[in-house]
Amino acid sequence: MNQEIKNIAVVGAGTMGNGIAHVAALFNGPVSLVDVNQSQLDCARETIIKNLDRQVKKEIIQTDDKEKTLKNLKFTTSLDDSLSSADLVIEAATEDLATKEKIFVELDKHSAQHTILATNTSSISITQLATVTQRPSQVIGMHFMNPVPVMKLVEIINGYATDSEVTKTIQILSEKLQKVPLVVNDYPGFVSNRILMPMINEAIYTLFEGVSGVREIDQIMQLGMAHPMGPLKLADFIGLDVCLSILKVLHDGCGNPKYAPCPLLVNMVAAQKLGVKSGGGFYDYKEGSKSETVSQQFA
């Protein structure tokens, strides 16, 4: 019998964490958003309110929905306080294996026996994370897409030991959150990034080798292939450091040279040109992400 998910804890109040907390509180019920940094929690609360206001303005939700969502949300720095009543914990911390392993040890220690442990990782092995817990059959991947309140996909990743009933429970929950759950198996990059990252990497190589410019590459993919956003601009939105990290996982995990990160990407990350979050990558972002010009480096 599938488990009912009533209470959810989201660990990590960054861009993905606050988005996941937003939709979970809107469509499901009580949510604790946990972060060690109080200022990050304050920022997350402001972001959620702003995004709820945008949904009300667009008539996607009603004012009552916004108020209900905010009542369902609890912002806290206390992990113990949040995990004891959670049926599901979703980890949304930095995309780093060592960091996530430390978090999963703590989640396993403080959560109830029935609690499902999920990670929002975009590339790290679910099977590997499960090995640091005493409940590998209850560990699963829930890879939401950014921005979470808008994007419909949840890539559900089965680890080697994930129980089929756990998978079904997470599928049902994802549908309740107004998402489309698609199940994949735990191999490097899963499906989304195994296909997306080589395309982004090839676009960077195309720029690196002087085949064409930033805007030309992006517009060719937009106008010719019907992509809503060009691959270089998309890389800026994802974060060039995140792109590099995922390519390294693909390269190391598959052992195939086709996944080797472009030297230009490596250099840009070393120079802290990370995209939107640093104010510049392939584009410069002066007035926020909707107002960009091609970086002077590539102009």
Fold of 8-185: Rossmann fold (3.40.50)
Catalytic amino acids?
122, 143, 155, 193
Top CATH class, 193-292: mainly alpha
Question: What pTM was estimated for this model as a whole?
Answer: 0.91
Tell me whether domains 8-185 and 193-292 share a fold: no
Residue-level pLDDT, tens digit, the chain, 299 residues: 568 899 999 999 999 999 999 999 999 999 999 999 999 999 999 999 999 999 999 999 999 999 999 999 999 998 877 898 999 999 999 888 999 999 999 999 999 999 999 999 998 999 999 999 999 999 999 999 999 999 999 999 999 999 999 999 999 999 999 999 999 999 999 999 999 999 999 999 999 999 999 999 999 999 999 999 999 999 999 999 999 999 999 999 999 999 999 999 999 999 999 999 899 999 999 765 556 799 888 97
Q: Give residue limits of the domains in the chain.
A: 8-185, 193-292
HEC string of the chain?
CCCCCCCEEEECCCHHHHHHHHHHHHHCCCEEEECCCHHHHHHHHHHHHHHHHHHHHCCCCCHHHHHHHHHHEEEECCHHHHHCCCCEEEECCCCCHHHHHHHHHHHHHHCCCCCEEEECCCCCCHHHHHCCCCCHHHEEEEEECCCCCCCCEEEEEECCCCCHHHHHHHHHHHHHCCCEEEEEECCCCCCHHHHHHHHHHHHHHHHHCCCCCHHHHHHHHHHHHCCCCCHHHHHHHHCHHHHHHHHHHHHHHHCCHHHCCCHHHHHHHHCCCCEHHHCECCEEECCCCCCEEECCCCC
